[in-house]
Structure 1
Amino acid sequence: MVHQTNRAATHSDIYQFPAQRFDDAGPSCTHAPRGPTTKQPGTGLPQAPNRDKPWSASQRPRPGPESNARFEQTDLSLQPTPLSAQALIEKEPIRVVHGRRAVCDGGGGPLGHPKIFINLDKPGPRPCGYCGVRFEQAPHHGHEH
């Protein structure tokens, strides 16, 4: 004869595991971690052949062959390295404007950018925010007699 009770099974009746105590001694893992703990940055390649230094504080160098299996057997010295646009714009001469405002549209047409007006009241060259072309007000503008 089996004795049955009207009491419902509780959580403690079903899951009876011994209590475990975790102290602040650290992780219980005793094996050495796999692989290097910190990734060593490679020497990297320069971003552009006409630019020696990085143009941004957060710029990372181009990845070398050790960074990806795709470049493992690739001779990166034979791959194309485009010129830096910043160095090319620096070679562009400053455009002198006989007025207080310069207009830049990036060359016009479908390859340009929206037309913007650049205020030239302050002395010195002012670059276009889109393409970087520099404009400067003609010296002694407004003082011709």
Structure 2
Amino acid sequence: MMAQMAVAMPLMLAGEQVLAGERGMFHFPSADEVRTQPISRAGNEANWPFSVDEGMLACVWSGGQRVVVFFENRPSDLGVDETFQPRQVIVTTDPIQLTLGNMAYRDLFRPAASVEERIRLVAPFATLGQKLCDQPAGARVGHGEL
């Protein structure tokens, strides 16, 4: 136990170690660090994972890692003076985050027969969202760049 403490104490005192290009565990992102891109379902796209045809894909650093989120767009028939709180889901290939992390708005995903099928459907969008974090503000990543 003492040997473990002897190793752990210098690491704790040295502060949080962060690799170049990474963000720390307790980094709180500013608005200019959030990358967004509108996405929509193509007419012939059979593997669209969401229950709505268009929305916003966002990437932000949170908890020391990139987090990709899909937000639904404001409905066109909603009045300007009416409030709107968009639903959002985490877009990831991690089955725990994909299922438990999205319990509140799981209806934003189209129905899938299994978790494996849902992972297969969201994987290209998770990759696209991860690439957004590497882009400068305002950049757009096309589907052909996956």
State the TM-score, normalizing by the size of structure 1.
0.22
Return the structure number with greater strand share: 2
State the TM-score, normalizing by the size of structure 2.
0.22
Structure number with the bigger relative contact order (C-alpha 8 A, sep ≥ 6) is 2
Higher radius of gyration, 1 or 2: 1
